[in-house]
């Protein structure tokens, strides 16, 4: 009997599991390259998103950019996530507003370590080519959730992951092995600590008419003025 993926996990949840595989604590024996950059292409329930990712000895950085509004092609929504297991912290940066949010890394441990935690069941399904790369296919099941994972036979990097119902697919492309600049995993100078709502409200001020107050301070933006797919992602990120 094939495993089931109850309810189709959200895109962000599958990305979190993927990050666990990147951190080197994989559920299979092959060692994983710990220093590289790549593009991550995520397709979930009709939505597609490409993120630039960087890995260096457990530290992780992902850069997401959503397209601008109709009539404002130069404008875009940018967000950067930095995971620092060595500091037990995670940072979410909003470059357009120069605001960052800090979260404890422990709060995500149960999710991020799903693929390697005790009790995770892993089945080796043999050799298979994915994205033109010779891989070993695995089935990983944890806490009632299952996924297919294709790991490169050369370096152990998971080049593709798919929920068993096919609703979510993550692919890794343009992989470049080697050390990454240390500055990628630090908060840049000039950023102020704040909340997700503050960061995105300031970021959206220039994209949504009348989103700011006359004095220049950002107000809660009217997300209904955004395209539906962007508004949906913003509501999830801002818990609205």
The confidence score (pLDDT) of residue 19 equals: 59
| 12-16, 94-98, 214-218, 235-239: segment of lowest average pLDDT | 214-218
pTM above 0.85, yes or no: no
What band does 30 get if pLDDT is binned at 50, 70 and 90? Answer: low
Give the Cβ contact number of residue 35 at 10 Å. 14
User: Helices in the chain by DSSP H: which ranges?
Assistant: 11-22, 109-112, 196-205, 228-238
Residue-averaged pLDDT of the chain: 72
Give tens-digit pLDDT for 184-224: 999 999 999 987 666 566 555 555 444 444 444 444 445 55
Give tens-digit pLDDT for 82-130: 988 889 898 999 888 888 999 887 644 444 444 445 556 778 899 999 9
The confidence score (pLDDT) of residue 198 equals: 60
Question: Is the confidence at residue 13, as pLDDT, over 90?
Answer: no
What gap in Å lies between CA 146 and CA 67, rounded to an integer? Answer: 32
CATH 2.50.20 intervals, the chain:
11-119+165-194
Give tens-digit pLDDT for 131-184: 889 999 999 876 677 889 898 888 888 889 898 888 889 899 898 999 999 999
Question: Is the confidence at residue 76, as pLDDT, over 80?
Answer: no
Report which of residues 100 and 3 the model is more confident about: 100
- DSSP output for 82-126: EEETTTTEEEEEETTTTEEEEEEGGGGHHHHTTTTSTT-EEEEEE
The CATH architecture one would assign to domain 11-119+165-194 is: Clam (2.50)
What gap in Å lies between CA 137 and CA 148, rounded to an integer? Answer: 7
């Amino acid at each position: 009997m094939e495993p089931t993926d109850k309810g189709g996990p959200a895109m962000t949840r599958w990305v979190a599991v993927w990050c666990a595989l990147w951190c080197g604590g994989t559920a299979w024996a092959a060692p994983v390259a710990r220093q590289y950059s790549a593009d991550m292409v995520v397709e979930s329930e009709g939505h597609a998103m490409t993120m630039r990712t960087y890995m260096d000895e457990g530290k992780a950085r992902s850069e997401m950019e959503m397209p601008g509004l109709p009539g404002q092609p130069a404008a875009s929504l940018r967000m950067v996530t930095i995971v620092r297991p060595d500091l037990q912290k995670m940072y979410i940066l909003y470059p357009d507003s120069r605001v960052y949010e800090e979260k404890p890394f422990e709060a995500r441990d149960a999710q991020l370590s799903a693929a390697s935690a005790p009790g995770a069941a892993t089945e080796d399904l043999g050799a298979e080519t994915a994205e033109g790369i010779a891989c070993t296919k695995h089935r990983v099941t944890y806490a009632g959730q299952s996924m297919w994972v294709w790991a490169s036979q050369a370096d152990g990097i998971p080049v593709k992951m798919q929920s068993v119902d096919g609703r979510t697919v993550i692919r890794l492309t343009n992989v470049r092995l080697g050390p990454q600049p240390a500055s990628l995993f630090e908060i840049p100078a000039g950023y102020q600590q704040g909340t997700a709502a503050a960061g995105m409200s300031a970021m959206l001020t220039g994209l949504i008419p009348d989103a700011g107050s006359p004095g220049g301070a950002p107000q809660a933006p009217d997300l209904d003025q955004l395209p539906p797919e962007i508004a949906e992602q913003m509501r999830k990120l801002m818990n609205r």
